[in-house]
Amino acid sequence: MTSIAVAGASGYAGGEVLRLALGHPELEVGVVTAASRAGSRLGEIHPHLVPLADRVLAPTRPEVLAGHDVVVLALPHGESAGLAAALPAEVVVVDCGADHRLVDPAAWAEFYGGEHSGAWPYGLPELPLADGSRQREALRGARRVAVPGCYPTAASLALAPGLAAGLLDPSDVVVVAASGTSGAGRSPAPHLLASEVTGSMTPYGVGGVHRHTPEIEQNLAAAAGVPVTVSFTPTLAPMARGILATCTARLSVDAGPRGRGGTDGGGPEADGVRKVWVEAFADEPFVHVLPDGQWPRTADTLGANTVHLQVALDRRTRRVVVTAAMDNLTKGTAGAALQCVNLALDRPETLGLPVAGVAP
């Protein structure tokens, strides 16, 4: 058995890591820590985690976390770097925060502020890269991994196949995505009260200022092999979990007759465009391109480490439209963390991770 410690176990992401770890056949949950909730019983905060209900949350300190094979950091942005630096090099440290996702220090300074802590291997195994490989090769045997943001996971997997194939114009990409309230974390805030959220949707981070924007651009540039410009608008939806992202990009000027998306004599066919995504993810156990005519729903991914995709071609505007649905806490955070743990420890990537959602 491999011992796993979870820092920030009182939050939604930390609780989801523990839920999945309990179902993993080769992980044994060790210490669980928190900041302000240290000293509390875990069952007071996460009553659904019955096997761990009597665990007492320890303070989040390096000496408390030391001695485990794996440490998952489910901490607020800016709090992981110092803690990770104090942990032994041989420990697998997986950061669910943003501290180590961005490669460009200037992008970090612009969107997060403060000193850049350096980039770790990026934990999106399925991401197609411009050289024909996948991001998972950088994760095998890694001892430090940066888990992607939830929005970047959905948007990147939605668009990367088309950019890697040269089908999409990297200068004209638009992403509009809705997320459940758990994406904002567990800290109380007036705008997250049930009376404010129920029956309403609200945009936020409008005008290219959301912190996930440079991360999406970084991922899509890795797929395209050239810089990618993204207009990203997130919205808050009246649900606890889930992301539904609508991602569009104009067809590349090279995607004309006999273009890489197939042709009907005057441009790419819809079936030919969709085939690019079907082939890109044919062997990926957690990314599913749905049958033609079936559209992703957040409900179908609840509790599963999966992303559901569908692809359409808008001939009138020459734009490809890809919709993606996933659970922001599972595939968007905790599931991705344990998927990366499996790769780091040279275990089957799918081990202990659910592919079936909960319905109704």
pLDDT at position 220 is: 98
Q: Total structural domains in the chain?
A: 2
What does the alpha-carbon distance between residue 318 and residue 341 come to, in Å, rounded to a whole number?
40
Measured distance CA(82)–CA(78) in Å, rounded: 8
349 belongs to a structural domain: no
Task: For residue 335, give the nearest of 303, 309, 360 by alpha carbon.
Answer: 303
Residues 183 and 135 in one domain: no
Amino acid identity, residue 110? Answer: E
User: Is position 257 within any domain?
Assistant: yes
Check whether residue 210 and residue 240 sit in a common domain: yes
DSSP 63: H
Q: In this structure, are 335 and 217 located in the same domain? A: no
- Gyration radius of the chain over CA positions: 20
Strand order in the sheet with 58-59: 58-59, 27-34, 2-7, 70-73, 92-95, 144-146
Same domain, 276 and 186: yes
Taking the C-alpha atoms of residue 329 and residue 353, their distance in angstroms, rounded to an integer, is 13
> For position 160, what pLDDT does the model report?
98
Give how far Cα 238 sits from Cα of 15, 145, 212, Å: 21, 32, 21
pLDDT of residue 266: 45
CATH number of the domain encompassing residue 130: 3.40.50.720
Both tokens assigned to 169: 């114009």
- Predicted TM-score (pTM) of this structure: 0.94
160 plus 294 within the same structural domain: yes
Q: What is the pLDDT of residue 253?
A: 86
SS3 readout for 219-236: HHHHHHCCCCCEEEEEEE
Same domain for 282 and 171 = yes
- Taking residue 227's Cβ as centre, other Cβ atoms within 10 Å add up to 11
Asked if residue 351 belongs to a domain, the reply is no
15: helix, strand or coil: helix
Answer yes or no: is 360 within a domain.
no
Q: Exposed, middle or buried: residue 66 (CB in 10 Å: 0-12, 13-18, 19+)?
A: middle
Annotation says 150 is catalytic: yes
Residue 239 lies in a domain: yes
Residues 9 and 74 in one domain: yes
CATH number at residue 183: 3.30.360.10
Half-sphere exposure of 135 (CA within 13 A, CB side): 29
* Candidate list 96, 150, 247, 340, residue with the active-site label: 150
136 and 242 in a common domain? no
Q: Distance between CA atoms of 54 and 39, rounded to whole angstroms?
A: 11
Q: Would you say residue 38 lies in a domain?
A: yes
Q: Are 57 and 51 a contacting pair, CB within 8 Å?
A: no
Do 73 and 143 fall into the same domain? yes
Q: Which of 277, 278, 312, 275 is nearest to 295 (CA)?
A: 312
CA distance 10 to 117: 25
Beta strands in the chain (DSSP E): 2-7, 27-34, 58-59, 70-73, 92-95, 144-146, 168-179, 202-203, 230-236, 243-251, 287-289, 307-314, 319-326
- 133 lies in the same domain as 227: no
Residue type, 223: A
215 lies in the same domain as 106: no
List the chain pLDDT tens, one digit each, 360 residues.
999 999 999 999 999 999 999 999 999 999 999 999 999 999 999 999 999 999 999 999 999 999 999 999 999 999 999 999 999 999 999 999 999 999 999 999 999 998 999 999 999 999 999 999 999 999 999 999 999 999 999 999 999 999 999 999 999 999 999 999 999 888 878 888 888 889 999 999 999 999 999 999 999 999 999 999 999 999 999 999 999 999 999 999 877 433 445 444 345 788 899 999 999 999 999 999 999 999 999 999 999 999 999 999 999 999 999 999 999 999 999 999 999 999 999 999 999 999 999 998
Strand partners, 308: 288, 325
How, if at all, do strands 307-314 and 287-289 pair? parallel
Widest pairwise Cα distance in the chain: 68
157 in the same domain as 275: yes
Residue 359 domain flag? no
50 in any annotated domain: yes
Structural domain boundaries, residue 290: 151-326
3 state SS of 169: strand
